A and B are shown apart, each in its own frame.
Chain A
C-alpha cells in the first residue's frame, strides 16, 4: 500500500492532507483552483489573500484569548 503522502501546493506552499483537498483549494498565489485554468480577476485574488489573513488573525486571537483565560 502507498505510504500516506502530504500534498503541498507549489505556488502558495499550503499543505493538505489529501489530493482532493489540494484540488479544491483556491490558491492565493495563482488566483485559481488547480482544476481551473481560468485566471481570476486581481480583485478576487486580493480578496482570497485578505480572507486568509483574516482567518489567521481570528485564529491568533482565539489562541491569545485561550491563553489569557487559562
Chain B
C-alpha cells in the first residue's frame, strides 16, 4: 500500500499556532487563514497576500520505506502585475524555515520565483536538507509562499499547486 500524504497549513501567532491538516485549497488572500475565501479576503492591488506556511505531511508510510525528492511547482499563469514567490529552490535552498506568524509584509522567506514546471530535482527539504528523507511518518520543511502585486494588478487568475515526491517501496 502506498504512503498516505496530505498538505497541511499552519496559521496564527507563532506563540499559539493552529495546524490545519489536509487543506482543501491553497487560496491566497488578505487573511491568515487556511481554506480562505478569496472573495471575502481579496488581495488589494499593490498589496501582498499573507504568506502561506504549508507542509507535505506523511501521515502513514503504508508499505513504503522512504519518501524523498520533494518537488513543488505551480501550473497556470498569474495575472499581469503579480508575482508568486517561495522559499523552495533547487540551487539556493536556505534550509528549514522556522514557523513565525504569517505576514502580508514582503516575506523574507519567499524570495525565489515559484517554478511553473516540475523542477529537475528537489526544491523543498526534509529536515532542513534537499537530500533529506522520511522513513516514518513526519513532515517536510515548511513551504513558504506569497503573492506580491502592483497597483496595476487585476483580479481573476486561478492556478494550481503541484507536489511530487519519490516513494521507495
Contact = CB atoms under 8 A, between A and B. Distances in A.
A5 B24 contact: no
Contacts, number: 50
B14 A34 contact: no
A5 B17 contact: yes
A9 B21 contact: yes
Nearest to A37: B4
A9 B20 CA distance: 6
A4 to B, nearest CB: 8
Interface size class for chain A? 10 to 19
A67 interface: no
Given A5-B19, A35-B4, 7 more contacts: A6-B17, A7-B19, A8-B18, A8-B34, A9-B22, A34-B21, A34-B59
Interface of B: 4, 6, 8-10, 14-24, 34-35, 59-60
25 contacts: A3-B14, A3-B16, A3-B17, A5-B17, A5-B18, A6-B16, A6-B17, A6-B18, A7-B18, A7-B21, A8-B19, A8-B34, A9-B21, A10-B21, A10-B22, A10-B24, A10-B35, A11-B22, A15-B18, A30-B22, A34-B6, A34-B21, A35-B4, A35-B60, A36-B4
